[in-house]
Structure formats: structure tokens, C-alpha cells
């Protein structure tokens, strides 16, 4: 079985796992305890926070550890909007966002009475400065635009968008959950106020993430209880996972160039060969400004879910987009936002590469795909 779905999740890096292990049994203390067991755990969490802060170029007390990327997105959006309830009311985001952002924005509209405006995206699913500038008004509280898209790989111009937000005095959040594996996540260079990260997309553990919160950004805590995480997120720290998250992020930053150099030529070979050898195929997302490990396509008159099953039977693990879409016959919101008609939109395929991908994996995939597309097309008739 060949795994080509690194945007859904990655296997944990061995040295990350090794760093985590002592905190399950030997150093199992609660960081909030006064005694030495507690102190040891507390210093592990402090050290992890410093490691994350040094990759992000921020202060350690601007990092809030969460249970993952989804929770970080929830805290950013709901926390910031509910904190500014009386002053301003609009939230701006795009239909191409991960559901952790888009569904939270919809909930803010439906249940909390905020106003939601969807930002226009271009044909590659990119949010441009013009589309943000056009949507901003005097009563806008925040904008949330993802750094890189999980389904189509498009990288948004975050520094420019954040500068536009700042010029208009609105908060800017970015979901950098996919981006952190390959792109620079320095918050000073990006100029963002809030940024979400999730460990399992860069060879860290699942179930742990972080939210960068620029000093002075007011958030309503979304888990109330103990005073952990600067009282923004109650609950005993998940020490081994926090340690693993920080180590994985540090390695991702250190090895960014090498990891990119490994996947990018393989990714380019996939894109070139697929478009050349398969009739009625199109690349989805930005051809240039896209994640280096990410190839995504639509094929006309193909049932994407059927194709995934055929690929699985042939030994390849791919995706049609977001991992959560499996079994759903509707095209994804992201593919819909690109404006494809249903005969194209239902035939989406995402191939995402990673550290263990070899040229042989790619060759074998490229040999197997065309006949499987043909088969899926015939079954679709
Ligand atoms: C995976 C993902 C999330 C969710 O992160 P979890 O850690 O799985 O909760 C959010 N946004 C994007 C862009 C993602 O790819």
C-alpha cells in the first residue's frame, strides 16, 4: 500500500515520538502541581512553548496550546468575535476555508447574531487583496483567510492580506495548519494577529495544536475552568503531546528546505504527467503558488469516490479533497467555489506527498492512474 495522503495526516516522526515517551510514565506530573513532579512537567511545557515561539518569531506567552488545528480555529474566531461583541460585527472569510473556520463562522452568524460575508476567491481558490479590501467596512471585526488550502494546495498572499486588514483596523486570523509543514510561519513577517497550527500535519502527534495570539488581542476563553494557557483554555496540559508538537514544528522549520526539495520535483512530475496522459483532466488550485507536496485535479465524468476506491484496491491511498468528505456525493465546498460544473467537480482527486514518498511510488502511481480513470469513466456511464 502506497500512502499519498500526507495532507490528511502524517506518521509521527521517530525522534518526535522519542521526545514524547518520557512524559507518559517517568515524568508524568501535572504542570500545575507545586511539587517536583509538577515542576518537571511544567518545565517541559515551558520549553515546548519557547521552541514554538522561536519558530514563529513571537513571545512564548503568545502561544496557546490546544487539542488541534480545529480547536485553534474555533478559539480564534469565536474568541475574538465574542470579545468584541458590542463594538463591531462583521466577520469575513471564504468558502474555501477548512470547515473548522467556515462552520465556526456560520455558527457565529446563526447562533450569535454576527454578520458573515464570504470573500470572493479567484479561479484558483485564492483570496486576493482586492477581494478583502472590497469586503471591509467600518463594522468589520475580523477576517480569517487560510495560509494554504488543504484541498487544492493554493497559497494565499497572507502578508499582503494581513497588511490590508491592519490598515483597516481589523483583526486578521490565518489557518496555517497545512502551511506549517512547508512554509515560513514567522508571524512578524506575516503580520497576522492570530494563527492556527495542528501537529499531525507536520509529523507530530494528532490531537494537539496551537494558536498564536498577538499580545493585546482580546479573546473570550472557550474552555473555562483552571487557569492553564493564560486562562484561555482550561484543562490539564497534555504534556507528551505538547512536547511532541513543539519538536515536530522545530524539525519542520529546520528541515523545510530539504523536505521541499524532496517532494517538489516528484509533485511536478505528477502534475505534468497526469495533465499530459489523461484526457479531460485539469489541475485545481494555483499552478505556481501551491504547497510543494500537493497535486490536485478534477477529471470530467468521473465519480471521485469511486476512483478513490479503485485506487485503494490498486494499493494507493489518496483523497478527493478534505478527509471528511469521503462518502459524500456532493462536490466539496472548495471545488464548488472554483466554479466547476458538476460533471467536473465530482471527479476530484488529491495526491499529497511526504517524507517517505519515493520516485518508485510516484512512477507506480502514474502507471496505475490512467487505466483506473478509464475504468471509473466506463462505470459512470
Ligand atoms: C487538518 C486541518 C485542520 C484541522 O486540524 P486538526 O488538528 O485535525 O483539528 C484545520 N485546517 C486545515 C487547513 C487543515 O488542513
Which range among 37-51, 92-106, 162-176, 317-331 shows the weakest confidence by mean pLDDT? 317-331
Model confidence band, residue 361 (pLDDT cutoffs 50, 70, 90): very high
**Can you say whether residue 64 is alpha, beta or left, with left for phi > 0 and alpha for psi between -120 and 50 degrees?**
beta
pLDDT at site 368: 98
Model confidence band, residue 331 (pLDDT cutoffs 50, 70, 90): confident
Hey, which of 177, 180, 185 would you mutate to test ligand 1's pocket, going by the most ligand atoms within 8 Å of its Cβ? 177
What's the whole-number mean pLDDT along residues 327-346? 87
Chain mean pLDDT for the chain: 95
pLDDT at site 322: 52
- Cβ 70 under 6 angstroms from ligand 1: yes
Tens of pLDDT, residues 122-139: 999 999 999 999 999 989
d(CA 373, ligand 1 centre) in Å = 29
* 79: three-class secondary structure by DSSP: helix
pLDDT at site 89: 87
pLDDT at site 330: 81
- Cβ 100 under 6 angstroms from ligand 1: yes
pLDDT at site 19: 98
What b/e readout covers 149-163, taking b as 16+ CB neighbours within 10 angstroms?
Answer: bbbbbbbbbbeebbe
- Cβ 177 under 6 angstroms from ligand 1: yes
Q: How many CA atoms lie within 13 A of 62 on its CB side?
A: 22
Per-residue pLDDT for 213 more than 80?
A: yes
d(CA 208, ligand 1 centre) in Å = 11
- Could you tell me what percent of the chain has a pLDDT over 70? 97
Hey, which of 175, 245, 332 would you mutate to test ligand 1's pocket, going by the most ligand atoms within 8 Å of its Cβ? 175
What's the whole-number mean pLDDT along residues 72-94? 91
Per-residue pLDDT for 301 more than 70?
A: yes
- Cβ 102 under 6 angstroms from ligand 1: no
Let me know the angle formed at the C-alpha of 357 by 351 and 363, rounded to the nearest 5 degrees: 75
Domain 14-254 has CATH 3.40.640.10: yes
Per-residue pLDDT for 182 more than 60?
A: yes
- The residues assigned a catalytic role are 324
The CATH code of domain 256-380 reads 3.90.1150.10
Grid cell 475574538 is found at 80
Which range among 313-317, 334-338, 377-381 shows the weakest confidence by mean pLDDT? 377-381
CA-wise closest residue to 292 among 87, 187, 148 = 148
Q: For the packed helices 359-380 and 304-313, what is the interaxial angle rounded to 10 degrees? A: 130
- Cβ 69 under 6 angstroms from ligand 1: yes
Which range among 148-162, 321-335, 348-362 shows the weakest confidence by mean pLDDT? 321-335
pLDDT at site 210: 98
Per-residue pLDDT for 117 more than 70?
A: yes
Domain ranges of the chain: 14-254, 256-380
pLDDT at site 381: 73
Fold identical between 14-254 and 256-380?
A: no
What's the whole-number mean pLDDT along residues 206-229? 97
Neighbours of 109 (CB within 10 A): 16
What's the whole-number mean pLDDT along residues 213-241? 97
Residues belonging to the chain:
381
pLDDT at site 88: 66
Cβ neighbours of residue 249 under 8 Å, at least 6 residues apart? 51, 52, 55, 180, 197, 199, 202, 204
Tell the residue nearest (CA) to atom 12 of ligand 1: 177
pLDDT at site 267: 98
Model confidence band, residue 86 (pLDDT cutoffs 50, 70, 90): low
Cβ neighbours of residue 186 under 8 Å, at least 6 residues apart? 55, 56, 57
Per-residue pLDDT for 375 more than 60?
A: yes
Amino acid at each position: 500500500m502506497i500512502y499519498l495522503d500526507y495532507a490528511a495526516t502524517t506518521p509521527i516522526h521517530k525522534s518526535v515520538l522519542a521526545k514524547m515517551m518520557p512524559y507518559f510514565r517517568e515524568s508524568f506530573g501535572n504542570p500545575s502541581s507545586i511539587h517536583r513532579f509538577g515542576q518537571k512537567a511544567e518545565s517541559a511545557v515551558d520549553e515546548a512553548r519557547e521552541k514554538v515561539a522561536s519558530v514563529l518569531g513571537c513571545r512564548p506567552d503568545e502561544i496557546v496550546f490546544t487539542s488541534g488545528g480545529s480547536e485553534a480555529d474555533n478559539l480564534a474566531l469565536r474568541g475574538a468575535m465574542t470579545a468584541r461583541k458590542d463594538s463591531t460585527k462583521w466577520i469575513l472569510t471564504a468558502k474555501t476555508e477548512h470547515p473548522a473556520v467556515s462552520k465556526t463562522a456560520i455558527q457565529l452568524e446563526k447562533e450569535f447574531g454576527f454578520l458573515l460575508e464570504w470573500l470572493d476567491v479567484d479561479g484558483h481558490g485564492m483570496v486576493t487583496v482586492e477581494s478583502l479590501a472590497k469586503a471591509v467596512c467600518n463594522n468589520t471585526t475580523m477576517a480569517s483567510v487560510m495560509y494554504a488550502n488543504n484541498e487544492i494546495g493554493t497559497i494565499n498572499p497572507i502578508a499582503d492580506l494581513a497588511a490590508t486588514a491592519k490598515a483597516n483596523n481589523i483583526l486578521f486570523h490565518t489557518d496555517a495548519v497545512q502551511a506549517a509543514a512547508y512554509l515560513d510561519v514567522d508571524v512578524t513577517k506575516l503580520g497576522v494577529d492570530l494563527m492556527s497550527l495542528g501537529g499531525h500535519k507536520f509529523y507530530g502527534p494528532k490531537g494537539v495544536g496551537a494558536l498564536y495570539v498577538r499580545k493585546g488581542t482580546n479573546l473570550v476563553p472557550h474552555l473555562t475552568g483552571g487557569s492553564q494557557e493564560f486562562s484561555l483554555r482550561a484543562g490539564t496540559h497534555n504534556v507528551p503531546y505538547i512536547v511532541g508538537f513543539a519538536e515536530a514544528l522545530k524539525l519542520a522549520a529546520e528541515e523545510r528546505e530539504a523536505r521541499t526539495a524532496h517532494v517538489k520535483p516528484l509533485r511536478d512530475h505528477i502534475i505534468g504527467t497526469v495533465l499530459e496522459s489523461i484526457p479531460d483532466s485539469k489541475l485545481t488550485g494555483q499552478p505556481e503558488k501551491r504547497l510543494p507536496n500537493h497535486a490536485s485535479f478534477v477529471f470530467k465524468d468521473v465519480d471521485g469516490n469511486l476512483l478513490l476506491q479503485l485506487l485503494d484496491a490498486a494499493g494507493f491511498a489518496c483523497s478527493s479533497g478534505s478527509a471528511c468528505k469521503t462518502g459524500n456525493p456532493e462536490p466539496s465546498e472548495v471545488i464548488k467555489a472554483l466554479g466547476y460544473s458538476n460533471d467536473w467537480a465530482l471527479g476530484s482527486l488529491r495526491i499529497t506527498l511526504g517524507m517517505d514518498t519515493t520516485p518508485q511510488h510516484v512512477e507506480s502511481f502514474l502507471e496505475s492512474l490512467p487505466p483506473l480513470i478509464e475504468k471509473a469513466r466506463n462505470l459512470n456511464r
